[in-house]
């Protein structure tokens, strides 16, 4: 998977990440999948995306480690997924998040096929523009 150009407004980079997740809002519980992870949030694939601003409880579980945080839907793509920004992270969950981010960073560094992107959003080797997510 190639890196994507990061929006200049992002505080930290997002990393490709696959894990099962569950989001709970005031009136629903939805099983979903995390596809990207950052220090402040994630992208969830789901066919039942919630509206922007919806407050949720986010649970991510992988390898016996659990991440739990209150969060809000930052943006929503109907039938595709949604961007979630975490607001209050449980103290015990912070360790899991840090480990997952470090593992994702290490994996990217070890993958020789990942292409370096310059600030214009074009791949340095191929000169192709990549879509912003």
What does the pLDDT look like over 82-115, one tens digit per residue?
999 999 998 889 889 999 999 998 888 876 444 4
pLDDT per residue as tens digits for the range 27-83: 999 999 999 999 999 999 999 999 999 999 999 999 889 999 999 999 999 999 999
Q: Using CA atoms, how far apart are residues 71 and 87, in angstroms rounded to an integer?
A: 5
**pLDDT higher than threshold 60 for residue 123:** no
- Mean of pLDDT over the chain: 80
Q: Which of 30, 36, 26 is nearest to 3 (CA)?
A: 36
Domain 15-110: give its CATH code.
2.40.10.220
**How many residues make up the chain in this entry?**
133
Asked whether 1 and 115 are in contact (CB, 8 A), the reply is: no
User: Which pLDDT score is estimated for 37?
Assistant: 95
Q: What is the DSSP string of 75-100?
A: EEETTTEEEEEEEEE-HHHHHHHHHH
For the chain, what percentages of helix, strand and coil (3-state, to nearest 5) are there?
15, 45, 40
Its pTM stands at 0.74
Please list, residue by residue across 91-110, b when 16 or more beta carbons sit within 10 angstroms of its beta carbon and e when fewer do. eebeebbeebbeebeeeeee
For the beta carbon of residue 37, count every other beta carbon within 10 angstroms: 22
**Confidence band of 119 (pLDDT split at 50, 70, 90):** very low
The structural domains of the chain, with segments of one domain joined by +, span 15-110
């Amino acid at each position: 998977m190639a890196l994507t150009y990061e929006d200049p407004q992002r505080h930290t980079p997002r990393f490709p990440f696959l894990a099962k997740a569950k989001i709970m809002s005031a009136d629903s519980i939805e099983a979903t999948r995390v596809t990207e992870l950052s220090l402040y949030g994630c992208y969830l694939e789901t066919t039942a995306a919630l509206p922007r601003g919806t407050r949720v409880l986010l649970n991510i579980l992988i390898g016996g480690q659990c991440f739990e945080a209150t969060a809000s839907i930052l943006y929503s793509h109907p039938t595709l997924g949604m961007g979630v920004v975490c607001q209050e992270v449980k103290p015990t969950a912070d360790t899991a998040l840090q480990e997952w981010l470090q593992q994702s960073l290490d994996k990217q560094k070890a993958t020789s096929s990942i292409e370096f992107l310059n600030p214009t959003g074009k791949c340095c080797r191929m000169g192709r523009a990549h879509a912003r997510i």
